[in-house]
Amino acid sequence: MRVKSLEWKKPTLWERFVESAAEIGRSITARVALAGNLAVFSVATVFWLVVKGAKRETLTPAFYNVGVLSLPVVMLTGTFIGMVLAVQSYPQFKLVGLETRIGAAINLSLVKELGPVLAATMLAGRVGSALAAELGTMRVTEQIDALASMGVNPIHYLVAPRFLACLTLIPGLTLFADLMGVVGGAFFSIKLLGVDWSYYWEYSRNMVGMFDVFAGMFKSVFFGAAIALICCHQGFRCGAGAEGVGKAATSSFVISFVAILFLDLLLGIGLDQIQTQFLGGPKGSMI
Amino acid sequence: MTTDETKKDDAATNGELKPVRVEPNVENGARPYPLPNLVGESNPEPSAERGENASERLIEGAIVVEDGVKKVLRRRPPLLEIQDLNVIFGENQVLRDINLKVRRGETVAVIGESGCGKTVLLKNMIGLIAPTSGRVLFKGKDLARASGKALTEIRTHYGFVFQMAALFDSMTIADNVAFPLRQHRRNMRRSEIKERVESLLEEVGLNPKIVANKTPAEISGGMRKRVGFARALAMEPELMLYDEPTTGLDPIMSDVINELMIEVRDRRRVAGVLITHDMKSAEKVADRIVMLYPHSRLEPDEPQMIFDGTPEEIERATDPRVAQFIRGEAGERLREMAAGR
């Protein structure tokens, strides 16, 4: 049997333009479809959680993995970031003679921004990627199909407990990150940089209010939900083979991280508006 | 006396339940069915217990007299029926106008070369993949139209043996087998579940004392397949779906799996759909064999199911594509593939 050779013709400029436009269109369509798919997946997760709750047999390991195993790394990160903040901000504050107020800057940054964002980032890196890899492997080895074939809804059985664990435990993790950041920052500023401890805490108390702590923890709930949904979704739509699982794990972290920053911006704007409009603005002034 | 008849006689004497192999009625084209398929028979007796009396092999539409009352025989709907099934992924059509019926107690083998859509067909049968058009009916209920709850209930009547067993890595072997029972038989006590798990493991030739507390990673491929088998049987299904169950196994273990499939059909009277490349397995296990041909190589008006008949009939098939497949001859396939067909 003879195989006809294919003749290759150089595409014209117009043909190349049309092909590029089509490629852009395909890419946009794929992203919109992905977003739609994630939305449906999220609604299904919340639906199953509300209607049937989560099974205890799946909830306990999820809580242990998300909460207990993440705590040490979140606390360690919080401690270091508190100390780094002290290192970076001290020279600038000293230049203008306001080094006694460094505690206010460190602690406000920690409870409002860095604590929640860092706890969420650590959760996305430690738990999120593992979730995507675990569920991706289950997809590749047909374990998810096996669940469905036995009349068990995979979203209810696999996603709902993980979502609930991330949603409910991240505020606690954030609180620990804040606490250790405050301790780390204070230790470095007072013990190593020689800032007067009474001024350090006095300015901190004047500057950081309960709303700031609440705002950080409130944001973290959204971060936790986004991490669980994005990572589980990536695992569920994992491609074939080891490469597919690897891609799912990587993309779950990247997408989660971008989502955390995006949500942080939106929620930051919203919460600042609430503080300004209804609570009379920030608690204190740096100057 | 043929081997089949000998087996049936043995079964009748031992009191085992063996289904009658129903032969097609060549003369009028109708397929006779044994009495258990009749409407209104609430507790059908296994046909083997009634022997091989020809008067009991009745044809749909026939009139019988029962207690002085004339009745027109009607069959129950098939256990599984596929009507005009089409499956398209993006621009790639995988299945075209597939029609298939699986009756109670019958095992149908679906054969065909890789990529012809066998596994897609199997996953459509249990609603894991939705058809682009057409219907899949289980006991007359359309899977695509069933609500989530109804579909969950329907799936508890299926047993699915996956190609690579699909056992849950994080659970022990005992927990894997107990899984469907814990999910759906809430009233079963722990001790009952344990007993049932042990009996299922023994049924597939595994010693519960040795394997029950191991994880899937700690046992061999053949053992994993048998654990998957035990898990699929846990809910006492009416229909077993086997996705290439002998792939990757040595010849002895392949035959063990074949024997298990035959036992499931004969002892439990469970229908089955077997997806396989293994002609030996198909001919040994199946009552009926259907062959699918890859859609990409079909002419526009050609049917995708190029054979539907008994294992004896496939041996005499005149279609060169069927003959080539059952003899395992590549023919011009390599050059055709190089040409992109």
Q: How far is B272 from chain A (nearest CA, A)?
A: 15
pLDDT tens-place string over residues A194-208:
888 898 899 888 888
Return the CATH superfamily for domain B80-327.
P-loop containing nucleotide triphosphate hydrolases (3.40.50.300)
Output the six-digit token pair for B7: 């087996």
Q: How far is CA B233 from CA A49, B46, B158, B255, in A?
A: 30, 20, 9, 19
**B167 confidence band (pLDDT: 50, 70, 90):** very high
Global confidence as pTM:
0.78
B223 vs B72, more confident = B223
Query: For residue B202, what are the contacts with CB-CB under 8 A and spacing of at least 6?
Result: B208
Let me know if residue A215 belongs to a domain. yes
Query: Can you tell me the distance from the alpha carbon of A29 to that of A89, in angstroms, rounded to the nearest whole number?
Result: 45
B11 vs A208, more confident = A208
pLDDT at residue number B73: 57
pLDDT tens-place string over residues B190-236:
999 999 999 999 988 899 999 999 999 999 888 999 999 999 999 99
Query: Searching chain A, which residue's CA lies closest to the CA of residue B152?
Result: A151
Let me know if residue A227 belongs to a domain. yes
Let me know if residue A26 belongs to a domain. no
Query: Can you tell me the distance from the alpha carbon of B60 to that of B75, in angstroms, rounded to the nearest whole number?
Result: 6
Statement: residue A9 has pLDDT above 50: yes
Q: Is B155 at the interface with chain A, CB within 8 A?
A: yes
Statement: residue B11 has pLDDT above 70: no
The closest alpha carbon to A245, from A259, A231, A260, A227, belongs to A231
Query: Can you tell me the distance from the alpha carbon of A12 to that of B233, in angstroms, rounded to the nearest whole number?
Result: 62
Let me know if residue A233 belongs to a domain. yes
Give residue for tokens 């004047």.
A206
A39-62 CB burial, b ≥16 within 10 A, e <16: eebbebbeebbeeeebeeebbeeb
Of B151, B166, B184, the CB nearest to A141: B166
Q: B155 and A149: CB-CB below 8 Å?
A: yes
Q: ipTM of the predicted structure?
A: 0.77
Q: How far is B288 from chain A (nearest CA, A)?
A: 24
Query: For residue A53, what are the contacts with CB-CB under 8 A and spacing of at least 6?
Result: A160
**B341 confidence band (pLDDT: 50, 70, 90):** low
Q: How far is A4 from chain B (nearest CA, A)?
A: 8
Q: Is B63 at the interface with chain A, CB within 8 A?
A: no
Q: How far is B24 from chain A (nearest CA, A)?
A: 33
All residues of chain B having their beta carbon less than 8 Å from the beta carbon of residue A153 are: 148, 152
Annotated domain spans of chain B: 3-72, 80-327
- HSE-up (13 A, CA, CB side) for residue A175: 11
Mean pLDDT of chain A: 90
Q: Is B146 at the interface with chain A, CB within 8 A?
A: no
Q: How far is A10 from chain B (nearest CA, A)?
A: 23
Tell me which of A47, A149, A162 to substitute to probe the interface with B (most B C-beta atoms closer than 10 Å).
A149
Let me know if residue A273 belongs to a domain. yes
Query: For residue A270, what are the contacts with CB-CB under 8 A and spacing of at least 6?
Result: none
| β pairing state of B133-138 and B80-89 | antiparallel
Give residue for tokens 């309960």.
A210
Query: Can you tell me the distance from the alpha carbon of B219 to that of B199, in angstroms, rounded to the nearest whole number?
Result: 19
SS3 content of chain A, % helix, strand, coil (to 5): 85, 0, 15
A→B contacts (Cβ < 8 Å), by residue, are 1, 3, 137, 141-143, 145-146, 148-153
Q: How far is CA B69 from CA B45, B59, B66, B72, B334, in A?
A: 21, 18, 5, 10, 64
Q: B166 and A153: CB-CB below 8 Å?
A: no
Rounded to a whole number, what is the largest CA-CA distance in chain A?
Answer: 92
**B334 confidence band (pLDDT: 50, 70, 90):** confident
Q: What is the dihedral of CA B317, B322, B327, B330, to 10 degrees?
A: 150
The closest alpha carbon to A263, from A216, A223, A225, A224, belongs to A223
Residue B181 CB coordination number (10 Å): 18
Cross-strand partners of B38: B75
Q: How many domains does chain A have?
A: 1
Q: B156 and A146: CB-CB below 8 Å?
A: no
Statement: residue B49 has pLDDT above 90: no
pLDDT tens-place string over residues A11-56:
889 999 999 999 999 999 999 999 999 999 999 999 999 988 888 8
Tell me which of A137, A142, A157 to substitute to probe the interface with B (most B C-beta atoms closer than 10 Å).
A142
Q: Which domain holds residue A263?
A: 56-278
Q: How far is A246 from chain B (nearest CA, A)?
A: 18
Q: How far is CA B231 from CA A46, B109, B176, in A?
A: 30, 21, 7
Output the six-digit token pair for B158: 């299926």
Output the six-digit token pair for B76: 């129950």
Q: Is B90 at the interface with chain A, CB within 8 A?
A: no
The closest alpha carbon to A208, from A110, A279, A61, A86, belongs to A110
